[in-house]
């Protein structure tokens, strides 16, 4: 399964009024693992950024003046995302800008070049209704360090979003299951397997004080039940004979 986490920076907020893409960053996941095969371009938008947008991304007209125009990198971007599922935070914003840029070149809309588009903002709102679900807020919620993010950047934000997406969709997998990895795709390098018998799990015994506190709770339960609670009942071993096994 190939997925691309994608983010853009733009000259402003509205592609319909002439704002343009100035940066695009793509991070590749294969079978939920970062491959390091990323794509990143700064783009000359042939116009200035709005002051508000400039304060967010810090990419000046002077810095972008010698960078390639979108027409020069469009085919490489489309080849990179072809048939992959695309993961974007607030997808309508980025897709709207990509569609506007492609329309200027007479190319089909972005979604015709890729697989499914997954919006992590929609996912986050379903998981955390009524809470802040910006990328920064999600990084805080999942304990992902974004201390190095002083300004927005398309590649940096894609890398952070990749970590957020993996954390948000991991569910209840344990550390051991995560270490074992998933089945590798054909042609990919298999992840190293971990033998269960090689894992030494620490055994921490309760202290005398903790045992006393535990027994006190059980005493209260016994009083309330006027008998012996299930927590003090020894499990009964069940022996299976050959007939039982055959009839199972």
Note the pLDDT tens digit of each residue in 35-49: 999 999 999 999 999
User: Residue 111: inside a domain, yes or no?
Assistant: yes
DSSP 66: T
Q: What pLDDT is recorded for position 7?
A: 96
User: Residue 191: inside a domain, yes or no?
Assistant: no
Which residues of the chain are modeled with pLDDT < 70?
A: 148-151, 171-201, 229-231, 234-248
Active-site annotation holder among 89, 148, 152, 183: 152
Residue with tokens 């903002």: 121
Can you tell me the distance from the alpha carbon of 119 to that of 132, in angstroms, rounded to the nearest whole number?
16
Q: What pLDDT is recorded for position 164?
A: 94
* Residue range of the domain that includes 221: 208-247
Total domain count, the chain: 2
152 in active site: yes
Can you tell me the distance from the alpha carbon of 39 to that of 36, in angstroms, rounded to the nearest whole number?
9
Q: What pLDDT is recorded for position 31?
A: 92
Say if residues 28 and 159 touch (Cβ distance below 8 Å).
Answer: no
Residues 20 and 124 in one domain: yes
CA angle 18, 115, 20 (to 5 degrees): 10
Residue with tokens 């947008």: 53
CATH of residue 132's domain is: 3.30.420.10
**Interval 182-235: pLDDT, tens:** 444 444 444 445 555 555 667 788 888 888 888 888 887 777 777 776 667 765
User: Residue 196: inside a domain, yes or no?
Assistant: no
CA angle 21, 23, 40 (to 5 degrees): 135
Residues 35 and 145 in one domain: yes
DSSP H helices in the chain: 51-57, 61-64, 70-81, 91-104, 120-127, 135-142, 154-168, 175-180, 208-225, 242-247
Say if residues 7 and 97 touch (Cβ distance below 8 Å).
Answer: no
Q: What pLDDT is recorded for position 72?
A: 97
Residues 172 and 234 in one domain: no
For the entire predicted model, the pTM comes to 0.67
Q: What pLDDT is recorded for position 173?
A: 43
Q: What pLDDT is recorded for position 97?
A: 97
Residues 122 and 172 in one domain: yes
Q: Measured between alpha carbons, how far is residue 184 from residues 2, 33, 88 in Å?
A: 11, 10, 24
Residues 66 and 167 in one domain: yes
DSSP 198: G
Residues 128 and 229 in one domain: no
């Amino acid at each position: 399964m190939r997925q691309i986490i994608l983010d853009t920076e733009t000259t402003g907020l509205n592609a319909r009024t002439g704002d343009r893409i100035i940066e695009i960053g793509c991070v590749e996941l294969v079978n939920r693992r970062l491959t390091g095969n990323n794509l990143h371009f700064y783009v000359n938008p042939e116009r200035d950024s709005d002051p508000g947008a400039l304060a967010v991304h810090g990419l000046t007209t002077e810095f972008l003046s010698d960078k390639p125009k979108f027409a020069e990198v469009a085919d490489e971007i489309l080849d990179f995302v072809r048939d992959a599922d695309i993961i974007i935070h607030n997808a309508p914003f980025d897709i709207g800008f990509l569609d506007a840029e492609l329309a200027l070149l007479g190319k089909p809309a972005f979604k015709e070049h890729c697989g499914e588009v997954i919006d992590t903002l929609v996912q986050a709102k379903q998981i955390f209704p009524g809470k802040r679900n910006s990328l920064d807020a999600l990084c805080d919620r999942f304990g992902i360090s974004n201390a190095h993010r002083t300004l927005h950047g398309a590649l940096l934000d894609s890398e952070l979003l990749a970590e957020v997406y993996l954390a948000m969709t991991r569910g209840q997998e344990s550390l051991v299951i995560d270490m074992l990895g998933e089945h590798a795709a054909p042609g990919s390098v298999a992840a190293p397997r971990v033998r269960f018998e090689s894992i030494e799990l620490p055994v921490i015994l309760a202290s005398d004080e903790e045992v006393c506190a535990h027994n006190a709770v059980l005493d209260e339960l016994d009083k309330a039940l006027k008998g012996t609670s299930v927590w003090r009942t020894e499990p009964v071993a069940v022996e299976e004979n050959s007939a039982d096994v055959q009839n199972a």
